[in-house]
Amino acid sequence: MRQEDQAAEWAAGSRHSSRLDGHGSIARPEPPRPGPALTGRIALLPEAIGPSLASGDIIARGDSSPCAALEEVQLWSQTCGPRSSVMWSNPMLEFDIHECFPTVCVTLGNVKPSVRNLIRRCGAAWPVLCLMQPVPPTWNQYMKSSAMRYCAKAATLSPGGSCANITVRHRRQRKRRHAKPRVARNHRLSRPNLSILKNTLVSRIDNQGGSSTHKYSMPVILNEEQAAQLPAPQRTRPLYSPEEAGVIFVLGGPGAGKGTQCANMVRDYGFKHLSAGDLLREEQERKGSEFGDMIKEYIREGKIVPMEVTIQLLENAIVAAKKVEGKRQFLIDGFPRKQDQAVKFEEVVVPSRFTLFFDCPEEELERRLLDRGKSSGRADDNIESIKKRFKTFVETSMPVVDAFEEQGKVEKIKAIAAPEVVYKEVKARLDKRGIKPE
């Protein structure tokens, strides 16, 4: 069968029902591990349509059976969450398309390292490309007609549009003496292939009522260990109203004294203090955390950890503090550090009351952090990380403060004076906002 015919047949298959959704033509065994079912459809697509996918799509590339692919995808979705899409490569292939496509391809075999690898390598830009295709009978056929073509298409359709640097390597071939990696450069989609691709997408969108976004159920929180399940849930309304959980964000440059002032406020006002940085460090140290390595790298580089992780950690902590300690007022320290975090948190957890912003010049911050670094044991209290953190603060976190300020939701406090002087001002601002000591 010609590739185009085969692709058309697959497209037709995906129109009727996903072969992986448990209702299609391929029966699948019960998943071997307990866990929530994937409620979304997994489309079986003949083509790579990465950039056309909405975040939330998971399309699997299965080199094994569709049943195995489904299990893998279930595991991935539980671990990476609904915003991620995954790609894992055929054991015989390695794709190297990082430079031209906002996705990653990951390891072979064991899924756990793959997950870690994926997260480490993709960071905030969650990957959005996967294929699902039965393995054609021969390697040559696979190599020539599928892999190269798909790579080329994925790249051609990518935002950058460039297809340079796509390398498709055959592992066995590499071992041969004269075998060279095959590099596809500047592939263009031929007309017929492009139309198949478009038809497939159109049929898929039609089939799903105008949207190509899949929704996946979130893991159920069952016990303490699982309470750290990530990432943040998909909700259309906040979990709490400001009356149920009063949240004050505490922002300021690294070393501005957020933690110091939060400790004072906890003492006098009975707030529950949640430091996003501390929660991330705890998660980083938590045995078995899939996110530990990623968090470590982000913190060392002074970068902002993807919001899904931080928001879920904060939400878990708020839920627990309400339940266990009966807390209703929260200081959320060092969060939101990026505009997407601010928007998402207020959308799915609770709208904030206002933000306390501690303003301090960089030279003073640097002096404090280097001083703290003598005993803090923090991996980022060194001059190299400090500089990176300053840059991230100015470029990424200050716009959050500016946006809140436009809404009249910021109390800006000069933080260069001694801690007790700064605290006097803090109390005055809380008073102004109607918050009294206990």
Ligand X SMILES: Nc1ncnc2c1ncn2[C@@H]1O[C@H](COP(=O)(O)OP(=O)(O)OP(=O)(O)O)[C@@H](O)[C@H]1O
Annotated binding site for ATP: 255-260, 372, 417
Structure tokens that stand for 192 in this block: 């017929």
Q: Tell me the C-alpha distance between 425 and 250, whole Å.
A: 14
Give least dist CB 291 to ligand X, A: 19
Q: Tell me the C-alpha distance between 4 and 13, whole Å.
A: 14
Instruction: Report DSSP state, residue 40.
Output: S
Binding residues: 255-260, 281, 303-305, 334-337, 372, 378, 389, 417
Q: Is 399 in the site for ligand X (CB under 6 A)?
A: no
β-strand pairing of 166-170 with 182-184: antiparallel
Q: Is 388 in the site for ligand X (CB under 6 A)?
A: no
Instruction: Report DSSP state, residue 209.
Output: T
Q: Is 264 in the site for ligand X (CB under 6 A)?
A: no
Beta carbon nearer to ligand LCLUPRNS, 51 or 306: 306
**What phi and psi, each to the nearest 5 degrees, are found at residue 353?**
-85, -50
Beta carbon nearer to ligand X, 24 or 252: 252
Q: Tell me the C-alpha distance between 183 and 330, whole Å.
A: 55
Q: Check: CB of residue 304 under 8 Å from CB of residue 295.
A: no
Among residues 58, 404, 143, 392, the alpha carbon closest in space to that of 254 is found at 392
From ligand X, ligand LCLUPRNS, none, which one binds at residue 240 (CB under 5 to 8 Å depending on kind)?
none
Could you tell me how far CA 21 lies from the centroid of its own chain? 24
Q: Is 419 in the site for ligand X (CB under 6 A)?
A: yes
Cβ-closest position to ligand X: 257
Beta carbon nearer to ligand X, 419 or 437: 419
Pick one of 59, 75, 122, 256: the residue that binds ligand X (CB under 6 A).
256
Residues 311-340 interacting with ligand X (rule: CB under 6 A): 334
Q: Tell me the C-alpha distance between 153 and 100, whole Å.
A: 11
**What phi and psi, each to the nearest 5 degrees, are found at residue 182?**
-95, 125
From ligand LCLUPRNS, ligand X, none, which one binds at residue 298 (CB under 5 to 8 Å depending on kind)?
ligand LCLUPRNS
Q: Tell me the C-alpha distance between 396 and 410, whole Å.
A: 17
Pick one of 19, 214, 258, 272: the residue that binds ligand X (CB under 6 A).
258
Q: Tell me the C-alpha distance between 189 and 149, whole Å.
A: 8
Q: Which range in 37-45, 68-76, 165-173, 415-423 contacts ligand X by CB under 6 A?
A: 415-423
Site residues for ligand LCLUPRNS per CB under 6 A: 254, 275-277, 280, 298-299, 302, 304-305, 310, 334-335, 337, 341, 380, 389
Q: Is 81 in the site for ligand X (CB under 6 A)?
A: no
Q: Helix (H, G, I), strand (E, B), or coil: what is residue 245?
A: coil
From ligand X, ligand LCLUPRNS, none, which one binds at residue 419 (CB under 5 to 8 Å depending on kind)?
ligand X
9, 17, 36 from 24: Cα distances, Å: 15, 6, 20
Pick one of 418, 434, 436, 438: the residue that binds ligand X (CB under 6 A).
418
Beta carbon nearer to ligand X, 91 or 361: 361
How many residues can be counted in the chain?
A: 438
Beta carbon nearer to ligand LCLUPRNS, 80 or 105: 80
Q: List residues binding ligand X (CB under 6 A).
A: 252, 254-260, 277, 334, 368, 371-372, 415, 418-419, 422
